[in-house]
Amino acid sequence: MAVRILDKIKTSQDRFEIRLSGSGGQGMIFGSVVLCEAIGKEGAKNVVQSQSYGPEARGGASKADVVISSEEIYYPKAMKLDLLLAMTQEALDKYYKDLKENGILVVDTSLVTEMPTKDYYGLPFTQMAREEAGHVMVANVVALGAICALTGIVKKEDLIEAVLLRAPRGTEDRNRKALEIGYNEALKLKK
């Protein structure tokens, strides 16, 4: 007699799973590390970060996952995403299937054109980084600002502090600005 367990289980335990995805060089790993540090700072939440390694991380789709819970995190890898950030079309196509029903999809509309759903938050992160923050390199930080505004999972001040701690010297202003514009623009989108 086969016992059905999987059908009965509600997976929404106290657990929030974020995937930052794009292509190698877009700073997805940096973003995930910063996010971890900002969220874990207070000690109230547990966070675990993991990333794709090896040939997979060279060009092509690159991903970094962050799992957040106020309880002990058992399984450290993402099971069903609560939030997916897709900075490229390839990443979106590859990882959209891992997003939970009613999960939050955030896309960089400067690079992603074909959406699998109407239910998403879109901002041109790369364009915003280049034109408003001063450098395309900080597109990931613009996106972090947006995630912060959309989820409230992390305090903006903590996120800024964590970004500045790890950002190369001399890029502080650029990073601060990137985070602010991402945050402010996303707030306007928030439903």
54 binds other proteins, rule: CB under 8 A: yes
Residue 9 or 191: the one with the smaller Cβ distance to other proteins is: 9
With CB under 8 A as the contact rule, the residue among 22, 26, 37, 143 that binds other proteins is: 37
Cβ atoms < 10 Å from Cβ of 134: 15
157 binds other proteins (CB under 8 A): no
Q: Taking CB under 8 A as the rule, does residue 46 contact other proteins?
A: yes
Confirm or reject binding of residue 190 to other proteins (CB under 8 A): no
The reply on whether position 75 binds other proteins by CB under 8 A is yes
CB of 7 to other proteins, least distance (A): 9
Give me the least distance between CB of 65 and other proteins, in Å please: 10
Stretch that binds other proteins, among 33-41, 81-89, 103-111, 177-185 (CB under 8 A): 33-41
Give yes or no for residue 77 binding other proteins (CB under 8 A).
yes
Q: List contacts with other proteins (CB under 8 A).
A: 1-6, 8-11, 13, 33, 36-37, 40-41, 43, 46-51, 53-56, 73-77, 79
